[in-house]
Structure 1
Amino acid sequence: MKKVMFTGGGSAGHVTVNMALMPLFLNEGWSVEYIGSAQGIERQLVSSLPEVDYFPISTGKLRRYLDLQNMKDPFKIAKGVFQAYRLINKRKPQVLFSKGGFVSVPVVIGAWLNKVPVIIHESDITPGLANRISIPLAAAVCTTFPETAEQISKAKTRYVGAVIRKELHQGLADKGRKFCGFHANKPVLLIMGGSLGARKINETVRAALTDLSERFQIVHLCGKGQLDTSIRLSGYQQYEYINEELPDVLAMSDMVISRAGSNSIFEFLSLQKPMLLIPLTKQQSRGDQILNARSFEKSGYCKVLEEEEMTATSLVAGVMEVYNKREGFIGNMRKNKQSEALSSVFQLIKETARHR
């Protein structure tokens, strides 16, 4: 049987492309397997596809800052490489597809040691640390932004555009309102701080709830362990994370407050949702979200609010500006030519497997 293996994790952004691709392989009769961490969000998300066999391995985090865990994690990564090597040697996939994140590094090394071809997907303009380590071992690198080719070997680069999950376009606004207990007579504001949540955004949103709730019904995705159960406010619903109901919630939403992870913002672009983007600061990241957000702002898809400038007052002002100018943002997004990225990556993986 034809077999493809996937890896990637640490955040939902390192899993969503895999989630879009795996059903395509299952529908064509492939055996699909996944290597990820034992406790990461990737395990939770992949569990929604019972046909996919999941194999957990030891992982360590690749940090850019000083931390005592940096002394332990190389041993965890080495253990993960050994586990991944043995798994891949035993399971014998024809190809490995990696979405990145720290869990992917030992898996890519394990595949390379087994001479299994690796295809990597990079969502951001500049590759993350995990992908930078893995790219020399890859047969091809699929990119969302054409500028990424300037950062890596052009011979390996395949510019495909944004991979969008098909199910996101199948959401029903009525189902979203029923799920949240909302009505159709008041606009809906969706707040997403990323799959792991964003404490500063959560705190600022809650400080601004009185003003925001006068104009909007609010869906607040807070991240694991960041719910505030003390809040009792009509028209305000908070969840740690939404999976199956997300297409319906997006369908009913009139605008979005979000971080600026590439996968998410391209999905909002595809759905033509006006955005207020609050990218991670350079102190929190390598600055990729700032580049993503500024690129979208230049194209007229969003307004950017820097976290350093975010207060309850500036947040409300930003939301109202985006909402009042929503028709302009939507008009610009309609001009964006949708790529066939999902099909392109699907075909590339199959072609690579055939030529092994």
Structure 2
Amino acid sequence: MSRKTIVFTGGGSAGHVTPNIAIMNELDPNEWDIKYIGSKKGIEKELVTNLKIPYYGISSGKLRRYIDKENIVDMFRVLKGCIGARAILKKLKPNLVFSKGGFVSVPVIIAASTLKIPIFIHESDMTPGLANKISQRFATKIFTSFEEAKRYFPSNRTTVIGSPIRKELLNGSATKGLHFLQFNHFKPILTIMGGSLGAKKINETVRESLNSLTKTYQIVHICGKDNLDPNFENQIGYKQFEYIHDELPDVLAATNVVITRGGSNAIFEFLALKIPMLIIPLTKNQSRGDQILNAHAFVEKGYGFMLEEEELTSDSVLTELERVQNSREEFIASMEGTNQGDALKILVKEISSVK
């Protein structure tokens, strides 16, 4: 029996790629030939090529909600991306295109629709990003992480499933994590993850607060590309990394509390791992406000606390972390009632049903 072909797309940040990776890892290689279309220089290229999956780069422009002269240039980039994606798809003849959003996905979705290729999209946030707002009209099926997101899409094509979690994240070893970090069992481990692109204000505040933080915690600081600070290379009880790949499941297994942005994929992963969170979402000046909505939803459900970046100081981060630690047992109890394994199973089943 010949294998079916699936093309994944999505990029711009790791949040648009890691759910795709979770799905790709679960598909039977005897049944599926997996390809990826992304931007020529985005983070998705590095993450996907590391998995030895064939990668096709296309031109892509940024999608903006405001007037900017760059919009004209980017319209041509998107058009060029559509032409490039269509040529790739005609050659690959996939049975399905699966999109996780991000501006690079739009040319791929439009090209797939002109070729009558079935399209699945997944929206992680409580409100859809501009890419998925455009893509939804072409989608065969739409999946969302949040119940609240369903109202933005056609109800007859939309299913709420949660977020697909990478299975390897759920199988980490705390002992291996401690060994990798060269940390001990005596102090709790605080992990800071500002997203794949880093988080300048969080990075700066954490480093300003290190003398106080290391009295209570051993600290893992995943600070993003080019954000390592040589001044803290030998700080006791503090380890900084641009990004952690293979060892991340073990590091998270050893983690007691996390500081995170409000990106949906990240917070759903911490929910699945039952790690209490201090969520510091991107501000409305930096984003469309989706992370703030995600954070509020998780606070209301009892999974952590939120600290707005405008309120972020050395004092406030220490105060809020203490609150998280004091509420730790309640947060874990709230998290116990959720089942985060279903989204991945549902998506794999839906994909497998495609002829």
* Pairwise TM-score range, normalised by the shorter structure: over 0.9
Q: Which residue of 1 aligns with 2:206?
A: 205
1:61 Cα deviation after fit: 1.0
Q: Distance in 2 between matches of 1:177 and 1:65?
A: 46
Q: Which residue of 1 aligns with 2:32?
A: 30
1:284 Cα deviation after fit: 1.3
Q: Is the 8 A contact 2:11 2:44 kept in 1?
A: yes
**C-alpha offsets along residues 3-57 of structure 1, whole Å, 9 cap, x if unaligned?**
111000011110111101112224443100000112111111112321x211111
Q: Which residue type is aligned with residue 43 of structure 2?
A: I
Instruction: Give the TM-score normalised by structure 1.
Output: 0.96
Q: Where does structure 2 lack aligned partners over 5 or more consecutive residues?
A: none
1:68 Cα deviation after fit: 4.4
Q: Which residue of 2 aligns with 1:74?
A: 75
Q: Which residue type is aligned with residue 63 of structure 1?
A: R
Q: Distance in 2 between matches of 1:149 and 1:230?
A: 47
Q: Which residue of 43, 46, 49 maps to 1:44?
A: 46
Number of residues of Structure 1 aligned to a counterpart in Structure 2: 352
1:115 Cα deviation after fit: 0.8
Q: Which residue of 1 aligns with 2:56?
A: 55
Q: Is the 8 A contact 1:145 1:159 kept in 2?
A: yes
Q: Which residue of 1 aligns with 2:306?
A: 304
Q: Which residue of 2 aligns with 1:107?
A: 108
Q: Which residue of 1 aligns with 2:321?
A: 319
1:67 Cα deviation after fit: 4.3
Q: Is the 8 A contact 1:17 1:164 kept in 2?
A: yes
Q: Is the 8 A contact 2:272 2:339 kept in 1?
A: no
Q: Distance in 2 between matches of 1:32 and 1:4?
A: 5
Residues 188-199 of structure 1 aligned to structure 2 (within 5 Å): 188-199=189-200
Question: Is 1:334 aligned with 2:336?
Answer: yes
**C-alpha offsets along residues 49-96 of structure 1, whole Å, 9 cap, x if unaligned?**
21x211111111112345443332111111111000000011100000
Q: Distance in 2 between matches of 1:187 and 1:107?
A: 45
Instruction: Give the superposed CA RMSD.
Output: 1.2
1:338 Cα deviation after fit: 3.5
1:252 Cα deviation after fit: 0.6
Q: Is the 8 A contact 2:278 2:306 kept in 1?
A: yes
Q: Distance in 2 between matches of 1:36 and 1:316?
A: 40
Residues 271-310 of structure 1 aligned to structure 2 (within 5 Å): 271-310=273-312
Q: Which residue of 2 aligns with 1:182?
A: 183
Percent of residue pairs bearing the same amino acid type: 52
Instruction: Give the TM-score normalised by structure 2.
Output: 0.96
Q: Which residue type is aligned with residue 23 of structure 1?
A: N
Q: Which residue type is aligned with residue 63 of structure 2?
A: L
Q: Which residue type is aligned with residue 224 of structure 1?
A: K
Q: Which residue type is aligned with residue 42 of structure 1?
A: E
Structure 1, 341-350 or 9-18: larger mean CA deviation: 341-350
1:285 Cα deviation after fit: 1.2
Q: Distance in 2 between matches of 1:169 and 1:336?
A: 14
1:162 Cα deviation after fit: 2.0
Please state whether the residue corresponding to 1:230 is helix, strand or coil: helix
